[in-house]
A and B are shown apart, each in its own frame.
Chain A
Amino acid sequence: MSKEIPQSSIKVLIADDSPVDRFILQTMLERLGYSVVLAEDGHQAVEQFESEKPDLVFLDVMMPNMDGVEAASCIKENAGDDFIPVIFLTSLVDASSLARCLDAGGDDFLSKPYNQIIIEAKIKAFSRMRAMNKTLSLQKNLIERNNKHLLQEQTVAKQVFDRIANTSSLKLSIIRYYMSPMAVFNGDVLLADISPTGSLMVLLGDFTGHGLPAAIGSMPLASIFYGMVNKGFGMSEILREINGKLNKTLPMGLFCCATFLDINLRKKRLLVWSGGLPDGAIYRAGGKTVERLASRNLPLAILSNQSFKADVVRYVLEPGDRILLWSDGIQEARNAEGVMFGEERLNALLEQELDNLHIFDDILQKVQHHIGEGERDDDVSLVEVRFPDEKEAAEVEKQGSRGRGCLQDWSLDFRLEASSLRVFDPMPLLLHITSEVPGLRQSNSVLFTVISELYNNAVEHGVLGLKSSVKQSPQGFAEYYRQRKEGLENLPKDCFIVLEFCHTVDAGGGVLRIRVRDSGQGFSPDETVATPGGVPIYHGRGFSLLRSMCESITVLPPGNCVEAQFRWLAED
């Protein structure tokens, strides 16, 4: 900004009814290199200003038709946000006349006789101010545009989020909550839905940070939550899925503090997983006591799924018990002096009013009172779930039965012919089906091992008739796989493998029976287990591994059919 603006590009308007004074000033300015526009009275001055758009105006105070003060007002109004310096030409000396000129929007005075050096200094100073003003005004416009754009984007993002986070379950009679309408941009998110198993699932989350980065994590969070609750998955499976997704997708340093409630209305039990949010509370209706729900886990997205543990605490609930959750916006709410509401004030409130039915309103009211009227803090999120009596529970549960349910008892026969055996890997397809059973989904990696071991045995020993004993030496391994490749390439047309799945649910969980039958001659797995002393066993390990994973493994005569029975236990 230190660069001077070329003088010839600066246009100056002189308005003066005295031909002598006008002539002198015009000559001075033209000799300094400015371009000059002239006016002889106030009316002309305003007209010339509108048509010539000068950068700077010299105005005589006393002029016929319209005086300088009035002309200055018109010019300033006409200029709008654009800064046009107005300098009064005057030999006025009394203070009140000078003040009147400044009130009318004048920026400076020039007294007679005119002095060229002073005039040049004034014009340069005002040109710098004008350039600075132009820059500021451009930046202001840019900021305004950006802000408008940001708000538009947030509105669209909010609409998308609202569609994903179907909030209809938050309207349940047993849930009360307070959140800012744009809370998703504070990183706060509240989700609730009723699962087909009769559990009310509630998740309060608080992403680190603010704005769009904080809001972005809410999308996969909400979509996994609703998708899996609807299919009847349990809390720990949903948490594991959310944690894994967020861990993989969120950038370093961005994570989600959350508390997850699984309230089973029939069994009257509450499961709580809490990671990083302030300790919630259960208000007991009967004993008039309060229990705190301590955070026992790291927030979501921090650990990889290998180290993630869904450490869940169980409580028994009675009608009238109320569970309260809040985000740290409650403790961190500041008043005008910057003092936080604080843990102590909140704890005192919770402990003092053990028989208080209005604790939700009280907390909210006290926090908002603390913040004061001046500054609305929109970071406050508070939710209360009241455990209903049996009549109300039935009504609540009815609203949850709209889910599409999950797989219960089913069976599947799947036959692979020779051409498929050569090229197709059936594992992804089969695991996709088994993972539709909530109880089996958590065992996907075990099931993968079991099914792929049975299938590979059927291909290698059944259909191809390979001998495990070939693998007894390291060189044998290579030979074995050469034979396998060759065998598959020249597979006879009438070869096949049939996989039969049969799944049944019972009170404690369920059983999946997997039967794999092949077109081969049959083989006894036992013969391969015989081990000469000291020789490492590279083969035959498969069956002992399967036995450790399954309830039972049975080889059916003539040895071309193996049945595995896999049992899973319900979460509670």
Chain B
Amino acid sequence: MVDEASLNTEILDELRELLAENFNELIDRYLSDSQLRFNLLQKAITELDFKAINYEAHGIKGSSRNMGANRLADLMGRLEASGHAQNAQNLLEVFADAKSEYARVITGLVSVRNT
């Protein structure tokens, strides 16, 4: 089930056409890479390591943008900026929003994965 607000289906269709039989592998790569980065981001926020916040949020933002997960990319952009500015305000709130948005993206991607 794809939530149009979380995942741009036009971009997903283009990716499916581009990658053809490798489309599933792309989704698997995104899932494992973003999971890894999310854990690192969680840790960085707990420790208020701004440099790591900036770096990991930037990474998730880029690949999310390429996957059509634009709302998640936007939220990551805000965390990246906070990390860059070393600003702790709203950090936890934005991260909470990002986590629930990330869950929607995962659900959507798993559902478009060819079986």
Contact = CB atoms under 8 A, between A and B. Distances in A.
Interface string A1-43: 0000000000000000111110110011001000000000000
Interface residues of A, number: 18
Contacts of B11: 113
Given A112-B65, A113-B11, A20 B33 contact: yes
Contacts of B18: 24, 27-28, 31, 116
Interface of B: 11, 15, 18-19, 22, 25-26, 29-30, 33, 55, 58-59, 61-63, 65-68, 73, 77
A19 B66 contact: no
Given A19-B33, A20-B26, A23-B26, A91 B19 contact: no
B29 A19 contact: yes
B12 to A, nearest CB: 11
Interface string A36-60: 0000000000000000000000001
A170 interface: no
A18 B65 CA distance: 12
A414 interface: no
The 3 A-B pairs at the shortest CB distance, nearest first, are namely: A20-B63, A112-B65, A20-B30
A505 to B, nearest CB: 105
Contact of B22 (A18, A27, A113, A116): A27
Given A28-B18, A91-B61, A113-B66, A23 B55 contact: no
Given A19-B33, A24-B18, A62 B68 contact: no
A128 B24 CA distance: 36
Contacts of B25: 23
B27 to A, nearest CB: 9
Contacts of B33: 18-20
A379 B77 CA distance: 69
A189 B19 CA distance: 78
A60 B62 CA distance: 10
B59 A62 contact: yes
A27 B19 contact: yes
A23 B26 CA distance: 7
B55 A18 contact: no
Contacts of B30: 20
Given A24-B15, A113-B11, A91 B67 contact: no
A118 to B, nearest CB: 13
A93 to B, nearest CB: 8
Given A23-B29, A27-B22, A18 B59 contact: yes
B60 to A, nearest CB: 9
A112 B66 contact: yes
A481 interface: no
A315 interface: no
Contacts of B19: 23-24, 27
Instruction: Tell which of A19, A62, A116 has the most Cβ of chain B within 10 Å.
Output: A19
Nearest to B37: A18
Instruction: Tell which of A18, A20, A27, A60 has the most Cβ of chain B within 10 Å.
Output: A20
Interface of A: 17-21, 23-24, 27-28, 31, 60, 62, 89, 91, 112-114, 116
A366 to B, nearest CB: 67
A430 B62 CA distance: 102
A113 B59 contact: no
A59 to B, nearest CB: 13
16 contacts: A17-B59, A18-B33, A18-B59, A18-B63, A19-B33, A20-B26, A20-B30, A20-B33, A20-B67, A23-B26, A24-B19, A24-B66, A27-B18, A27-B19, A91-B58, A113-B65
Nearest to B32: A19
B63 A21 contact: yes
A114 to B, nearest CB: 6
A62 B58 contact: yes
Contacts of A62: 55, 58-59
Nearest to A64: B55
B1 to A, nearest CB: 22
Contacts of B73: 91
Contacts of A114: 66
Instruction: Tell which of B30, B59, B67 has the most Cβ of chain A within 10 Å.
Output: B59
Contacts of B62: 18, 21, 60, 89, 91, 112
B56 to A, nearest CB: 10
A459 B63 CA distance: 115
A24 B26 contact: yes
Nearest to A116: B18
A421 to B, nearest CB: 106
Contacts of B22: 23, 27
B97 to A, nearest CB: 19
A62 B62 CA distance: 11
A19 B59 CA distance: 10
Given A24-B15, A24-B26, A28-B18, 9 more contacts: A24-B19, A27-B18, A27-B19, A27-B22, A31-B18, A62-B59, A89-B62, A91-B65, A113-B11
Contacts of B26: 20, 23-24
A29 to B, nearest CB: 11
Contacts of B77: 91
A497 B59 CA distance: 115
A91 B25 CA distance: 23
Nearest to A89: B62
Contact of B66 (A17, A20, A31, A116): A20
